Amino acid sequence: MSEIELSVDVGKLGRVAVLFGGQSAEREVSLQSGQAVIDALIKAGVDVVGIDADDALIERLAEARPALVFIALHGAAGEDGRVQALLEFLKYPYTGSGVQASAIAMDKWRSKQIFSAAGIPSPAYRIMTLDTDLSDVVAELGCELMVKPASEGSSIGMSKVHSEDELKQALAKALAFDPHVFAEQVISGAEYTVAVLDGEALPVIKLETDREFYDFEAKYVLDDTRYLCPCGLAEEAEQELQALALKTFEALGCEGWGRVDFMADAEGCFYVLEVNTVPGMTSHSLVPMAAKAQGLSFEDLVVSVAKTAIAQ
């Protein structure tokens, strides 16, 4: 049985303000996550107020007077440390990682530099600009690459490429979302994700999609993506992956809850892709699936996440 409490005294939480929506490219996903969190907190008997994080955020918080803030914002200005810094300045306890860890985890390029320093395996990569000689990138990393904006989530702006011509197009696409873009060597194998909640790694989920990769459509739109939990790994391999998730979470200084995404190669070696400090909480989201496999209802999961803010 999980070490996570299945029952939390909701009276100790006080009023909870759920921040959702916002103005990032992930606004629509955040609206879904936030509404799901609000509904779960209401069902659990929590005093809750939802706040769409617009330019009047400070005034809305002052009006709501919450005891703590549940961050359900995804992407820029919600997951990158800026809202976290504002909440700390205003002295509101909040869910998830602090300012520094949020900022670093949101920046996949800088995260990879920390992974390297901490001895955490991650796919080889190369930062790119409009002036980059793309033939050098292909010579170094190969033709099959993932091109990623450094600081976007939900696979927004990402492309999988198989040639130098496709690489050029993918670079232009990614630069429309972020001035920092990198190419990453493709690891051909199974994809896994590990949710972390209050210092514990939840059961591993294996992801399978018939699309080119696990993109926005596969994550949020289509119903044919397959989520396997149990994940099919041997117990020793699953424990290894969970331990690597916790090591990665700690290396970035993350707290509270989050999710670590992995690829495995043909030999079964695991590679960290990224850390999500405010994972989705929609009907297609992965953390609720892992929590359910651990014996936590969605309401218990949401209240447990809210509870982690109390200790700040």
Q: Which residues belong to the active site? A: 26, 154, 220, 259, 261, 274, 276, 280
Residue 202 CA to residue 259 CA, distance in Å, equals 10
Helix (H/G/I), strand (E/B), else coil: 162: coil
Angle at 259 between CA 251 and CA 20, to 5 degrees: 115
Do the Cβ atoms of 216 and 154 come closer than 8 Å? yes
DSSP 130: T
Angle at 247 between CA 244 and CA 249, to 5 degrees: 110
Closest CA relative to residue 99, chosen from 113, 114, 88: 88
Do the Cβ atoms of 223 and 208 come closer than 8 Å? no
Residue 68 CA to residue 65 CA, distance in Å, equals 9
